Amino acid sequence: MQDIKQDIEHAYGITTLHPVGLSAVLVLGTAMLLVPRRWSILPILVMACFISPAQRVVIGGFDFDLLRLMVLFGWTRLLIRGELHPIGFKWMDVVVVAMAFLGTVTYTMLRGDSAALVNRLGWSFDLIGTYFLFRFLVRDWKTVETAAIGFAVLSMPVAFFFVIEWMTGRNMFAVLGGVREITHVRGGRLRCQGAFAHPILAGCFWASLLPMMAALWWRDASGRVLAAVGCFFAMVIIFCSSSSTPIMTVLFVLFAAALFPIRHWMRWVFAAAVVVTIILDLIMNKPVYHLIGRINVFSSSTGWHRFNIIDQAVQHFHEWWELGIIDTWHWGVTDITNQYVLTGIRGGLVTMLALILLIGLAYVMVGRTWRYVQRDRYRLAMSWAMGVALFAHTVTFISVSYFGQIDAIWYLLLASIASVAPSPRMVMAARRARRRAAMAAADVESFVPAGAHPAYARAYGSAVNRP
C-alpha cells in the first residue's frame, strides 16, 4: 500500500486539475445546489466513485481535493437554501468535534511547526465538515434509502470500468491523473483500483456498502432488483481488486448479518466474545492478536505485516501514548495499515480512545434504532444493515488505514446512524406506549368472558382504551 499512497502524497501541495475533473466538480457542485435535499448527497457519491483524490486545487497553501470542494458546495447549499435547521443533539456530534480538536492539538504539539497545523486543519475539515454536512442533509429514512439506491445504481458503471481494467491491465482513469496507467500486479493477480486511492480501499469501499444495498430487498419489488444488482456488481468490483482485506470484510459482513435472529442477545454475544478473547490470550504462547498473522486469503497476502504493526505498537507504547510519534522507522514498520494504530501514532492515546468511543456510541445508537423501528420490517432491516456496515468498518480498521474516497462513506455512515437514531425521550415514550398497550390487552383478556364473540372483545377493548 505504501507505494500507491506515496503517489497521492506527491500530489499534495500542487494544483492538479484535469479539464474533466474541473467539469465534474462544476456540474456536480451545481447539481448539489439545485436538486431536492433528499438527492443532494448523490453528487458527492458520484465524485467519490469516478474522480481520483489526486485531483486538487491548492490556494494559499491550503489543499482542496475535489471531494473537499464538493463539501464546500454542500455547505453553500445549506446556507443559501436555509437548511441549517436543528439536527437534534447526539453525543456522537460532541465526540467528532473532540476527536478533531484532540488530533489537531496533539499532532501540532508533536511536530511543532505550522505545516503540522495546516495538515491537521485539513484533516479536521474533512472530519467535521463532511460529517456535519451529512448530518444536516440526512434527516430521515428516505435520505438513507436514497444513498443505498444511489450506490446500487453507481455499482454498475464502476464495475464496468473495473472489468475493463481487469481484462486489459490498464486503468482508464489514468488519463485524469492520480492513478497508475498500468494496473499493479501482485502474486500474479491484477489489482484493479479504478479511480479509487488503492485497490484494497476500492474493495473495502464496496464491501462495506453491501449491507445497505442488501437491505433494499425488504422495501418492495423494485428494491429487490436494486439489492440484487448492487450486491452483484459490488462483488465484481471486490473480485477485480484481488485483495484479501475486502474479501475478509465480506465474510465479516455475512457473519454480522447472520446474527440478526439473535439480535436481542447481542449484549451477551459481545460479553462472550470479550471473555473468549481474554481466555485465548491467557492460554496462548503468543498474544491473541497473533492470529491476524495467520489470515491470508491469497499467497501474496500480508497478514504477518498486520500482526507486526499491532505488536510493535504494543511494545513501543511508551513512545506514542502521550502525543504520538513522528516516525516509526526504528520499529521496522513504516506503512501503518491499521486505522487504530495510525490514529494513536498521529494523535496519541487520547485521540485513539476518542475514535473507539465514537464507534462505541455508534453501536449503541444502532441498537436503540432497530429496537425502536422493529415493527417496521424494512426499517428494521435497514437499521440492522447500518450496524453490519459499522461492524465491517470496525474490523477493516485492523487491516487498513483509510485515505481517499472511503473516508466519505465512513462519515456518511456515522452521520446516518446519528440522524435516524431516536432520542432517549422518544425511546421512553415508545416503551410507555407499549406498556399501556400490554396492560390494556391484559385487561381485555381478564374481563371478557371465556368463549365470548370476538366483536364483544373488540368493543370492550375500545371502551377501556377510550380517553
Asked whether residue 351 is assigned to any structural domain, the reply reads yes
Say if 358 falls within a structural domain: yes
Residue 415: partners with Cβ closer than 8 Å, 6 or more residues away: 131, 132, 133, 134, 135, 138
Q: Based on the fold, state whether residues 171 and 204 are members of the same structural domain.
A: yes
- Both 384 and 436 in a single domain? no
> Is the same domain home to 282 and 399?
yes
Domain membership of residue 20 (yes or no) is no
Residue 325 included in any domain: yes
Residue 409: inside a domain, yes or no?
yes
Q: What angle do CA 294, 296, 301 make, to 5 degrees?
A: 120
353 and 214 share one domain: yes
265's grid cell: 442477545
Q: State which residues form the domain around 253.
A: 89-422
Q: What is the distance between the alpha carbons of residues 217 and 226, in angstroms, rounded to a whole number?
A: 8
- Residue 463: what pLDDT? 45
Residues 303 and 378 in one domain: yes
Q: How much is the pLDDT for 260? A: 94
Read off the amino acid at residue 76: T
Same domain, 344 and 200: yes
CA 237 and chain centroid, separation: 18
Q: Are residues 329 and 455 in the same domain?
A: no
In a domain, 274, yes or no: yes
Q: Are residues 264 and 381 in the same domain?
A: yes
Count of domains for the chain:
2
Do 293 and 165 lie in one domain? The reply is yes
Cα–Cα distance between 73 and 375 in angstroms, integer? Answer: 38
Per-residue pLDDT, 416 = 95
d(CA 249, CA 296): 13
Positions of the chain with pLDDT lower than 50, given as ranges: 456, 460, 462-467
In a domain, 28, yes or no: no
- Based on the fold, state whether residues 381 and 452 are members of the same structural domain: no
Q: Tell whether 286 is covered by a domain.
A: yes
Q: Say yes or no: 387 and 252 in one domain.
A: yes
- Claim to verify: residue 362 and residue 436 sit in the same structural domain: no
